Amino acid sequence: MSLMDEVTARALSLGIPFSLHLDVTYRCNERCVHCYLDHDDHGEMTTDEIKRVLQQAAATGTLILTLSGGEPFLRKDFFEILTYARSLMFAVKIKTNGMLIGPEQAERLRELHIGEVQISIYSHRADVHDAITKVGGSLDRSLKAIRFLRDQGLNTVISCPLMRANIVDYPQVQTLAAELGVKFTMDPTITPKMDGDASVVKHRIAQPDIARVFQDSTLVGDVNEFCRPSGPVTDDLLESVPCSAGHTSVYVSPYGDVFPCVQFPVACGNLRQQSLEDVWLHSKQMNQIRSIRVRDLHTCSGCNHVSGCTRCPGLAYMEGDMRGPSSADCEKSLIKAGLAEMSSGPEVAQAPLVQIQALW
Amino acid sequence: MRSLYVGRSEAVAARMMGGEIVVISPEDSSLFTLNAVASCIWNSADGDSTLEQIVRNQVCAEFEVGFDAALEDAAAFVREGSQHGILQVSEQPLPRNPQVVLPTPETKL
């Protein structure tokens, strides 16, 4: 068990929201085709309201703070928020498109000891990247920001969400990250919009492409280990919690709404009316989610893939049942099982699979 | 032994958790968990106090430990902490660290 696993386990046993994701705005200067947000401002929290949320989070024990949006740098008070967050000794991670980061902003971020800045790059080709963001010149501006951040010695990460439009480009984005001397991460998850609109999931990559990604050792490390057949379904596993959402992590929207996770749109309370501690401890919805164990997942608990599956309860919820399966994750588990079968021989093929039809 | 002033690095992230402090160094994303004695030293490292003062006034007052043994352990901790960049050590007083919020959340769930 790594030290971080130990600390997270301690946070779980103490009931601490160790990690808080706060979107400071949903406004954005890009219009990415796969985005799950509505970019209008419906009444964002003020600077003072956000500071109060941060104060409450620090008092509740939160250490890791992810600030994102929308585009967080669109808020004129963003550096004031960052400064306040660092004065409360949060480990701060920022997710941004970098379009508003110049040399001066990069220097200020370094002075504030920001732990990580993550910037989405969809392709090394401007025509592909800019078509996804729907903003001409956006690749150029994001790459400039990455160079400014790197030159300040900041921990900078290129994130490459995988979609049908850019699936062939990620190896070149990976190469670009290496050339720039920054980290690279990718994610094939495309989430329905927070209002339930599933139109954006048409951008999800196709099954053969997921299989190719799962066999790319530069992304998954040891492919055999990554695709290893799921372990036995033990009592310990059945008594475990399915996900950190609502257990050690929490999400707050720009309007103060509290959710277990950014991908789990069950409204649990609002920080304009309640304190974070009050919502965290006493929200009926939060406690309902927190009570769920793997044993309670009516379909997944009987599935042989349950020990190795990365089932997202938020995606399951958006499919209609937070205790049910997430078809996107079933698909990934089945693909992994198929790859394991190809590499490991017939004994893996004997494992019964739960077959679930993707809804989208 | 020279009097050394000890201060917390302003670069770190930290939070009290279950009676112990968890520290993250942004320089290399290292994670540290400090035991109760180290947490006491870290909390008292305001840049204005020497290690001897911290050991005498805080550590020996809070824990049943002799001054010499505590000072030796504390010096080793401070040396290691400064090597990892979570503590600053100086023969002169350091800029005073700002007051930080390090609550001790109780088990509530």
Residues from chain A contacting residue B109 (CB–CB below 8 Å) = 15, 281, 290
- Written as six digits, the tokens of A54 are 């941060």
Minimal CA separation from A257 to chain B, in Å: 21
CB contact under 8 Å between B105 and A92, yes or no, is: no
> Mean pLDDT, to the nearest integer, of B83-98?
86
pLDDT for A58: 95
The yes-or-no verdict on residue B97 having pLDDT over 70 is: no
CA angle A293, A296, A302 (to 5 degrees): 110
Place of tokens 């504030």: A112
Q: How many CB atoms lie within 10 A of CB A341?
A: 17
A→B contacts (Cβ < 8 Å), by residue, are 3-4, 6-7, 10-11, 13-16, 18, 55, 58-64, 87-92, 113-116, 155, 281, 290
Residue A90 has pLDDT above 90, yes or no: yes
**What pLDDT shows up at residue A211?**
87
Q: Which amino acid is it at A69?
A: G
Cα separation values, A106 from A44, A285, B10, Å: 25, 40, 18
Give the per-residue pLDDT at B107.
45
Min distance B76 CA to chain A CA atoms (Å): 21
CB neighbour burial string for A226-237, b if at least 16 within 10 angstroms, e if fewer: bbbbbeebeeeb
Residue A162 pLDDT more than 70?
yes
CA distance A163 to chain B (A): 30
Looking at residue A180, its pLDDT comes to 97
User: In terms of CA atoms, which chain B residue is nearest residue A246?
Assistant: B109
pLDDT digits (tens, 9 = 90+) for A17-41: 999 999 999 999 999 999 988 888 9
Residue of A101, A60, A76, A59 lying closest to A25 (CA atoms): A76
Asked if B22 has any chain A CB less than 8 Å from its own CB, the reply is yes
The pTM is what?
A: 0.90
Task: Mark yes or no for CB contact A290/B109 under 8 Å.
Answer: yes
Residues 25..44 of B with a Cβ closer than 8 Å to A: which?
Answer: 26, 29, 31, 33
Distance from CA of A48 to the nearest CA of B (A): 18
Q: Which tokens sit at A209?
A: 């492409």
The half-sphere exposure of A209 on its side-chain side, counting CA atoms within 13 A, is 17
What are A147-158's pLDDT values in tens digits? 999 999 999 999
CB contact under 8 A, A113 and B14: no
Residue A143, pLDDT above cutoff 90: yes
Helices (H), chain A: 3-14, 47-60, 78-87, 103-111, 126-133, 138-151, 170-180, 207-214, 217-220, 223-226, 235-239, 276-282, 284-291, 313-318, 327-344, 346-349
Residues of chain B in contact with residue A155, where contact means CB-CB under 8 angstroms, are 26, 29
B24, A3: Cβ pair inside 8 Å?
no
When the pLDDT of each residue in chain A is averaged and rounded to a whole number, the result is 90
Q: What percent of chain A has pLDDT over 70?
A: 94
At residue A264, the pLDDT reads 92
Q: Residue B17, Cβ neighbours under 10 Å: how many?
A: 22
Q: State which H helix or E strand residue B62 sits in.
A: helix B60-62
Region B13-32: what's the mean pLDDT?
A: 87
The count of CB pairs under 8 A between chains A and B is: 79
Closest-CA distance, B1 to chain A, in angstroms, reads 32
Residues on chain B touching A92 (C-beta within 8 angstroms): 13
Confidence of residue B102 (pLDDT cuts 50, 70, 90): low
The architecture (CATH level 2) of B5-88 comes to: Orthogonal Bundle (1.10)
| Predicted pLDDT of residue A251 | 97
Nearest to A10 among B12, B18, B29 (CB): B18
**pLDDT in the model for residue A308:** 84
pLDDT at B100: 54
Give the pLDDT of residue A341. Answer: 65
What ranges do the domains of chain B cover? 5-88
The pLDDT tens digits of the residues spanning A310-358 come to 898 998 998 889 999 998 888 888 888 777 666 554 443 333 334 333 3
- Which ipTM did the prediction report? 0.86
**pLDDT grade for B58, boundaries at 50, 70 and 90:** very high
Choose the closest CB to A58 out of B22, B98, B103.
B103
Question: What type of residue sits at position A76?
Answer: K
Q: Which residues from chain A sit within 8 angstroms of residue B13, using beta carbons?
A: 63-64, 89-92, 115
Report the residue count for chain A: 360
What is the model's pLDDT at position A348? 38
Work out the percent of chain B whose per-residue pLDDT is above 90: 68
Angle, alpha carbons B6-B8-B10 (nearest 5°): 140
Compare all CA atoms of chain B with the CA of A154 and give the residue at the minimum distance.
B27
Q: How would you label B83-97 residue by residue, b for 16+ Cβ within 10 Å and e otherwise?
A: eeebbbbeeeebeeb
What's the pLDDT band for B34 if we cut at 50, 70, 90? Answer: very high
Which residues in A lie closer than 8 A to residue B12 (C-beta atoms)?
89, 113
Q: What's the mean pLDDT in B64-69?
A: 94
Inter-chain touch A14–B17, beta carbons under 8 Å: yes
Q: Kindly report, residue by residue over A241-285, the tens digit of the pLDDT.
A: 988 999 999 999 999 999 999 989 999 999 999 999 999 999 999
Q: Which long-range contacts (CB under 8 A, 24 or more apart) does B71-76 make?
A: B71/B1, B73/B37, B74/B37, B74/B41, B75/B1, B75/B51
Comparing alpha-carbon positions, the chain A residue that sits nearest to B18 is: A14
